[in-house]
Amino acid sequence: MFFSTHSIAPRMIVLVLLGLGLAGCGATRQLPEAAAVVPNAEFLALYQADKEERFPIPASDISGIDESFLRRIVAYPTSERPGTIVVDTRHRHLYLVMENGQAIRYGIGVGAEGMRWSGRAQVGRKAEWPRWTPTAAMIRRDPQRNAAWANGMPPGLENPLGPRALYLHQDGRDTLYRIHGTNEPQTIGEAVSSGCIRMLNQDIIDLYRRVPVGAQVVVLPGESEKAPLVAAKAGPLG
């Protein structure tokens, strides 16, 4: 099996039963009968500071982020196999498919109009605290900001890739698109990046621990009129 109660418990939040983790066996969390107004404190627990990281991560400021973009389990009937990542760029959500018609839903920031990529890929590589190197196109578009890092920016809290990155490959080749963290949490739910898929730092760490290299990734077209099939029953991972 892909998920278990133990596999999705964060190591630093004992009160949050379904947080950080990787593989295991067992049943998934029982969802509430109906969506309800969730106390903000439950979400704050998911996005608190992590002092055990190589570069201690501060708590994410989620005060200006709509709760629909905060991590939670939702009903998500799909033909995709458990363990598949589905990225809905149009609605700014990323789903990690689970069993029993459920998924973990995360909020994302996506590429600005004209910079989006869609299709099927695989997680070709995973990196903790990755080095960031802007592409030649990014340097041409914004040389003042990006040219200084043509040879790469070292990892750290100022690095735009954040603490983790998943590198999307097709047919064994790097697409140059990433799922990664961000040092600009206010961009979650927006279309402002240069094409990559950005997540809150605590969320990319959570996703990183759940998926292996080789995991399937489906990026839906941004212009698609087909919204993901998500039922009203939903609750935070806590």
Query: How far apart, in whole angstroms, are the C-alpha atoms of residue 95 and residue 82?
Result: 10
Q: pLDDT class for 223, splitting at 50, 70, 90? A: low
Mean residue pLDDT across the chain: 79
Tell me the residue type at 174.
Answer: D
pLDDT tens-place string over residues 149-196: 999 999 999 999 999 999 999 999 999 899 999 989 999 999 887 678
CA neighbours within 13 Å on the CB side: how many for 186? 1
Q: Provide the pLDDT for residue 19.
A: 35
Domain boundaries, given as residue ranges, for the chain: 40-236
- 3 state SS of 139: helix
Percent of the chain predicted with pLDDT > 90: 60
Any idea which residue has 């200084």 for tokens? 148
Q: Provide the pLDDT for residue 224.
A: 41
Active site residues: 180, 196
**CB-CB contact of 18 with 237 (8 Å):** yes
Query: How far apart, in whole angstroms, are the C-alpha atoms of residue 201 and residue 88?
Result: 19
Q: Thinking of the domain 40-236, which architecture would CATH place it in?
A: Beta Barrel (2.40)
Both tokens of residue 200? 């809150």
pLDDT tens-place string over residues 6-25: 344 333 333 333 333 322 22
pLDDT tens-place string over residues 45-93: 999 999 999 999 999 999 889 999 999 999 999 999 999 999 999 999 9
